[in-house]
Amino acid sequence: MNQDLLDLALGANRVLTYAGYVLLAGTLTFWSVVWPDGRRNGRLVVLALAGTAAMIIGTLAGPAIQLIFAGRLLGDIVTPLGGAAQLARLAALVAAMFFLPDIISGAVVGWRRILALTVVLVIAASMVAQSDAIGGPWEVTKIAVTGLHVLATCAWLGGLVALAAVLIPGDRVEELDQLIPRFSRVAMLSVATLVVTGIIHAVAVAGGLSPLIGSRYGLVLVIKVAIFGFMLLMGNHGRKYAARAAFRQRHLVPDVPGKNVGVSGLAVAMGAELCIAFVILSTTSLLVMVAPHP
Amino acid sequence: MTGHPLAAWLRRAVGLALIVGLLISAVAFYRVAPQLPRATPAPPSNTTSSSTATSPTTAGPASQSPDASPSPTASAKRVPPTQAEVKLPPGPGTTEPGILLMASPLRDGSFDVAELVILPSQVRSVRLAPPKLAVGGKSFAGLKPVASEVQMSADDQPVIVPKGRVDSRLEIALVEPSNQMELRYQLHEVTARSIPSRAGRALAVISPLAAGDPSLHVVMMVSGGTVRNIECPMRRGISGQTCAAGRKPNLRAKGELPLSQAVIIVQFDLPRT
């Protein structure tokens, strides 16, 4: 396999891993923080299982692609810390897979919440251990901000996917009033964390503000930030739309009986938001590939 | 969701066994990973013995003493000094961002080169490129510089350079982000006979293999009893002609050169046999 194809395969695998992380960790966080009673929702269970499967495939496929198609040896492609982190992540994924029925056997509070959040923390830590936060100057700062960035990503994007999965069918308007305010608080905190940690991380990785501005890494980062800003606008629009829809559903008689126009509009807004989220994940994968050149 | 109690207990037991097994594997992997098979040898910091192997996949970093001039009867190649043998000067490539290049002529007119690279920030890939000879003049026309037996490590982890050869611009992806690298290689097709001149006198164009940020500072050292002079063709005026500093057999280009101008012409004598 030539280098371009190899880079493409590894990039696609990275997107799969990030998507899996968002689905699994996001759903577990959503259950733990936003909607403990949402354990009965079959769509959320499917999201968690799909995320687990994607992460297992992504975790195993990364080294496998390089071993099989690039002909590299294990010692060349996995560092001691990186390999140990991947195995620890697999342990967390096995825990998610085998103990999910226990986590959702009751409201996700108490020990169930602790178990769910422990799985999220272990997976997030394993991703930090494999990131560019390890080594170089400002290591402690980079580890801290990368950890917070990764956790905020799952809380926001994962929560958004989970919220969409719950609300888009359009028959759960009664839950809008309950979920959207809770999720909005989590989302606001997550977005603030993403902005602050993102800035610090970018400057630390690039080695200062000047190198960041003049590099390809900086350019892709600007594109990501622009998409991120657009997504925030879309999210804000979606949430306002949802609030109005909930109000109409509760207090006004619909113009066309049986047709849930408000929630359909919400579905469009959230669908667009999720598409942008996927673009952001892809851009993040690209950022990893175009980190500063010497 | 939980099903039969026995099935639930079995599920938990299998899950726990797998988790414990994976966690033990993680600890074991962390301990044994340094001994895993690699395509390139262990990093130079812990290898000081000379190797007789010449394959890029098996050869260790050369580490013979560089102080003596080449003996006509010696069969071994001369090699540049290594970190273990000489006290490296503080500055670019050793204590601050930049490149320290150490070269030493071999018997066939090629050069054995070591490059220590420290970058201002971590990177995930590195660009390598052979020297551009145009700056050396017409004498070098027709030569196609190539670096062979290229060994590379990043943060003490080996990095594979395809075929151990760089004859054109090449992007090398690193497994882990790094800002500290070391390169060892032999530089061929960079030497031309100096005509008219004393018999055996030759000129060689040398520049760092690591390409990239043109403002990166470079220190260039050339060692060997046959080395006569160093010119810096990118420096204008007399400072370009009288670029050599230090005492034979260890010469260096005066001061630090920005990477965009880090080219030297080494004047040296080829051995008679």
- State pLDDT tens for residues B180-204: 999 999 999 999 887 666 777 888 9
Indicate the DSSP class of residue B158: E
Q: Is the pTM of this model over 0.90?
A: no
Beta-bridge partners for B157: B154
Q: Do A176 and A213 fall into the same domain?
A: yes
Q: Do B24 and B60 fall into the same domain?
A: no
Q: Which residue of A has its CA nearest to B217?
A: A294
Q: Do B83 and B18 fall into the same domain?
A: no
User: Looking at residue A264, what is its pLDDT?
Assistant: 59
Question: What is the total count of domains within chain B?
Answer: 2
User: Looking at residue B3, what is its pLDDT?
Assistant: 61
- Calpha distance B160→B153 (Å, rounded): 8
User: At which of A108, A130, A152 does a domain end?
Assistant: A130
Q: Do A108 and A140 fall into the same domain?
A: no
Q: Is A95 on the interface with B (CB under 8 A)?
A: yes
Q: Do B18 and B112 fall into the same domain?
A: no
Q: Do B56 and B11 fall into the same domain?
A: no
What is the least distance, in Å, from the CA of A262 to any CA of chain B? 34
Q: Is A189 on the interface with B (CB under 8 A)?
A: no
Does position B50 have pLDDT exceeding 50, yes or no? Answer: no
CATH number at residue B168: 2.60.40
Q: Do A176 and A45 fall into the same domain?
A: no
Q: Do A213 and A112 fall into the same domain?
A: no
SS3 A125: helix
Q: pLDDT higher for B162 or A276? A: B162
Nearest CB neighbour to A80, from listed B30, B212, B216:
B30
Q: Is B195 on the interface with A (CB under 8 A)?
A: no
Does position A234 have pLDDT exceeding 50, yes or no? Answer: yes
Q: Do B132 and B204 fall into the same domain?
A: yes
Q: Do B100 and B178 fall into the same domain?
A: yes
Q: What is the mean pLDDT of residues B80-92?
A: 62
Q: Do B218 and B111 fall into the same domain?
A: yes
Summarize pLDDT for A97-120 with one digit per residue, the tens: 999 999 999 888 899 999 999 999
User: At which of A103, A130, A157 does a domain end?
Assistant: A130
User: Looking at residue A218, what is its pLDDT?
Assistant: 76
What is the least distance, in Å, from the CA of B12 to any CA of chain A? 6
Q: Do B93 and B18 fall into the same domain?
A: no
Q: Do B251 and B168 fall into the same domain?
A: yes
Question: What is the total count of domains within chain A?
Answer: 2
Burial (CB count within 10 angstroms: exposed 0-12, middle 13-18, buried 19+), residue B237: exposed
Q: Do A117 and A160 fall into the same domain?
A: no
User: Looking at residue A195, what is its pLDDT?
Assistant: 87
What residue numbers bound the domain in which B48 lies? 44-269
Least confident piece of the model among A29-43, A99-113, B49-63, B242-256: B49-63
Residue-averaged pLDDT of chain A: 81
Q: Do B184 and B52 fall into the same domain?
A: yes
Q: Do B133 and B216 fall into the same domain?
A: yes
Q: Please indicate whether, in this complex, the C-beta atoms of B173 and A291 are within 8 angstroms of each other.
A: no
Contacts of A1 in chain B (CB under 8 A): none
Most confident of A47-56, A206-215, A226-235, B201-210: A47-56
Contact status, residue B242 vs residue B220, Cβ threshold 8 Å: no
What residue numbers bound the domain in which A25 lies? 1-130
Q: Do B27 and B55 fall into the same domain?
A: no
Q: Which residue of B has its CA nearest to A6?
A: B173
